[in-house]
């Protein structure tokens, strides 16, 4: 697979016929003897990942050719201008305490890319049943809600189509952003009952390069703006972007906290560190959540 559009969006692009974990492969390159040859925004992609990892130690597999595993290397330097090469020797390393924004940033980039693909499919006159619609102006097009679930899952109508896993490099001067995207899984391929794919939603198999290029372009754009603002999520517009895309906000949620306790309440905001603020239904007090497994409650 050539991925011409995606290659144009990043500094280095490698497609692998198969990989155990694209994150593992890219971390190895980024920290190995040839690390200098893997600059900021270097990307590894496969449609056949055999040992994929998710958040909280979960593992997942997908049939070959029906999903993408995408890993992008970030070597963030603050103070670089939007559109500049962050590896050009300008700026200083972003403080590690700002790295917590990158999973949300990547989730926002994927949400934008998935939303664009769903909208393009609907405008092309395709429904999930495969029948042509009467046209984009007749008011009969099906509507699909594409949102970001905090911290980094992308949902279509409440079903997961993509997830993000970020890993810090050992020297803490960079990180690898891993993403999985369900392209053309059918109902028999889905890993969970709350998963979906672009094919199932839109009724057509997406063009992998087009969707991937949108994601990489948005990831690069949001990252450049964040670094140009010295990692300030407000000044860069990142907080506003993520807030606008996040379907978790305003929802009643259950958060399984790292210690095993549950927090139930309404998600009301994100703070300047990217933490989820939940109004605890037991006490009425707001609580900041930095990590946890979030379930949107529907009752």
Write down the pLDDT at residue 136.
42
CA–CA distance, 33 with 276 (Å, rounded to integer): 39
Write down the pLDDT at residue 45.
97
Sheet of strand 67-74, all strands in order from the earlier edge strand to the far edge: 12-16, 42-46, 67-74, 175-182, 159-168, 153-156, 146-149
CATH number 2.30.30.100 is the correct assignment for the domain at 252-296: yes
pLDDT tens for each residue of 10-38: 999 999 999 999 999 999 999 999 999 99
121 or 282, greater pLDDT: 282
CA–CA distance, 223 with 98 (Å, rounded to integer): 12
Side-chain-side CA neighbours of 77 within 13 Å: the count stands at 17
What's the Cα-to-Cα distance from 162 to each of 69, 88, 96, 148, 158, rounded to whole Å?
10, 32, 25, 10, 12
Write down the pLDDT at residue 137.
47
Nearest to 106 by CA among 55, 171, 154, 157: 154
Write down the pLDDT at residue 52.
64
- Boundaries of every domain in the chain: 4-245, 252-296
Write down the pLDDT at residue 237.
98
* Residue pointed to by tokens 């895309």: 245
Write down the pLDDT at residue 128.
58
Write down the pLDDT at residue 121.
84
Write down the pLDDT at residue 61.
62
**Residue 258 — pLDDT band, cuts 50, 70, 90?**
confident
Write down the pLDDT at residue 57.
52
Q: What is the largest CA-CA distance in the chain?
A: 59
CATH number 3.30.930.10 is the correct assignment for the domain at 4-245: yes
Rounded to the nearest 5°, which phi and psi values hold at 266?
-105, 130
Question: 119 is written with which tokens?
Answer: 């909208």
Measure the CA angle with vertex 220, ends 180 and 155; round to 5°. 35
* Residue-by-residue DSSP string for 30-66: HHSTTGGGS-TTEEEEES-BSSEE-GGG-EE---TTS
User: CB neighbours (10 Å) of residue 208?
Assistant: 21
* Residue pointed to by tokens 């190995």: 32
Same fold, 4-245 and 252-296: no
In this predicted structure, the answer to whether residue 240 has a pLDDT above a threshold of 80 is yes
Write down the pLDDT at residue 63.
72
Write down the pLDDT at residue 135.
39
Mean pLDDT of 42-46: 97
**Residue 55 — pLDDT band, cuts 50, 70, 90?**
low
User: How many helices (H) and strands (E) would you count in the chain?
Assistant: 6, 16
Residue 251 CB contacts under 8 Å (≥ 6 apart), including other chains: 266, 267, 296, 297
169 or 121, greater pLDDT: 169
- Ranges of beta strands (E only) in 143-217 are 146-149, 153-156, 159-168, 175-182
**Residue 46 — pLDDT band, cuts 50, 70, 90?**
very high
Write down the pLDDT at residue 133.
40
pLDDT tens for each residue of 62-90: 678 899 999 999 999 986 554 545 444 46
Q: Looking at 193-197, 285-289, 294-298, which range is the least confident one?
A: 294-298
In this predicted structure, the answer to whether residue 287 has a pLDDT above a threshold of 60 is yes
CA–CA distance, 31 with 13 (Å, rounded to integer): 17
Q: What is the mean pLDDT of the chain?
A: 88
In this predicted structure, the answer to whether residue 131 has a pLDDT above a threshold of 50 is no
pLDDT tens for each residue of 146-161: 999 998 899 999 999 9
Write down the pLDDT at residue 69.
96
**Residue 140 — pLDDT band, cuts 50, 70, 90?**
low
- Helix, strand, coil shares of the chain, percent, nearest 5, are 25, 30, 45
Write down the pLDDT at residue 199.
96
Mean pLDDT of 173-187: 96
């Amino acid at each position: 697979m050539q991925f011409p559009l995606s290659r144009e969006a990043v500094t280095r692009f490698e497609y692998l016929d198969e990989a155990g974990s694209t994150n593992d492969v890219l971390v190895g390159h980024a920290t190995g003897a040839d690390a200098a040859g893997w600059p900021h925004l270097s990307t590894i992609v496969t449609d056949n990942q055999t040992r994929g990892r998710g958040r909280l130690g979960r593992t997942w597999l997908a049939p070959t050719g029906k999903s993408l595993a995408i890993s992008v290397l970030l070597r963030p330097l603050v103070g670089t201008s939007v559109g500049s090469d962050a590896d050009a020797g300008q700026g200083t390393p972003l403080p590690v305490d700002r790295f917590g924004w990158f999973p949300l940033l990547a989730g926002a980039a994927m949400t934008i890319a998935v939303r664009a693909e769903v909208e393009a499919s609907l405008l092309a006159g395709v429904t999930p049943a495969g029948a042509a619609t009467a046209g984009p102006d007749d008011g009969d097009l099906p509507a699909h809600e594409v949102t970001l679930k905090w911290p980094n899952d992308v949902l279509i109508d409440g079903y997961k189509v993509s997830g993000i896993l970020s890993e810090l490099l050992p020297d803490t001067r960079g990180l690898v952003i891993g993403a999985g995207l369900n392209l053309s899984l059918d109902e028999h391929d889905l890993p969970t009952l709350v998963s979906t794919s672009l094919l199932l939603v839109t009724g057509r198999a997406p063009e992998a390069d087009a969707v991937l290029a949108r994601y990489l372009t948005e990831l690069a754009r949001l990252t450049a703006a964040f670094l140009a603002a010295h990692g300030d999520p407000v000044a860069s517009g990142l907080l506003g972007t993520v807030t606008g895309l996040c379907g978790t906000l305003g929802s009643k949620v259950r958060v399984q906290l790292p210690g095993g306790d549950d927090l139930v309440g309404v998600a009301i905001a994100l703070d300047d560190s990217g933490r989820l603020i939940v109004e605890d239904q037991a006490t009425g007090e707001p609580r900041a959540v930095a990590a946890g497994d979030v379930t949107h409650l529907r009752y």
